[in-house]
Amino acid sequence: MPDPDPEEKIDSTFRNGSLTAAGIILGFSLNFIGRWVSNPNDWSTIDIAPMALLTIGIALQVKVFADLLARDSLIAAKYDRSRRLFLIGLVIVAVGIGIALLNDILGLGSMQMLG
């Protein structure tokens, strides 16, 4: 895909839809980590990897959410960069959740996610 013109702008309605979607997904990510952290079970060293990935992924999502709230986010190049970063953050969170689930299924961690 060719790079957009530095002065090219996107429609604010389009950006607002992306902002809404990013906010909802960020809310789900924060809710997941909040519920997992508040679990009364003890932590083990195996829980560090998924927690680190969740933290990094959520940090990227928060950064993108803040970037999309900025006035200059209507510039196409900045919007495209934010979109790519959000997808990277989303994949990192998904991998962290996958590792946490795998640890739970295999009985490796003490932080149980499944009932």
Average pLDDT (77-102) is 94
The total of other beta-carbon atoms located within 10 Å of residue 92's CB is 21
Q: Are 35 and 75 within 8 A, CB to CB?
A: no
The more confident residue out of 36 and 83 is: 83
Q: Where are the domains of the chain?
A: 12-36+46-106
Q: What is the pTM of this model?
A: 0.83
Alpha-carbon distance 109 to 84, whole Å?
32
CA atoms lying within 13 Å on the CB side of residue 1: 5
* pLDDT confidence of residue 39: 78
Alpha-carbon distance 56 to 112, whole Å?
21
* pLDDT confidence of residue 68: 92
- 2 pLDDT band, cuts 50/70/90, is low
* pLDDT confidence of residue 40: 76
pLDDT at position 46 over 90: no
Mean pLDDT of the chain: 87
- 5 pLDDT band, cuts 50/70/90, is low
77 residue type, one letter: A
Alpha-carbon distance 49 to 77, whole Å?
33
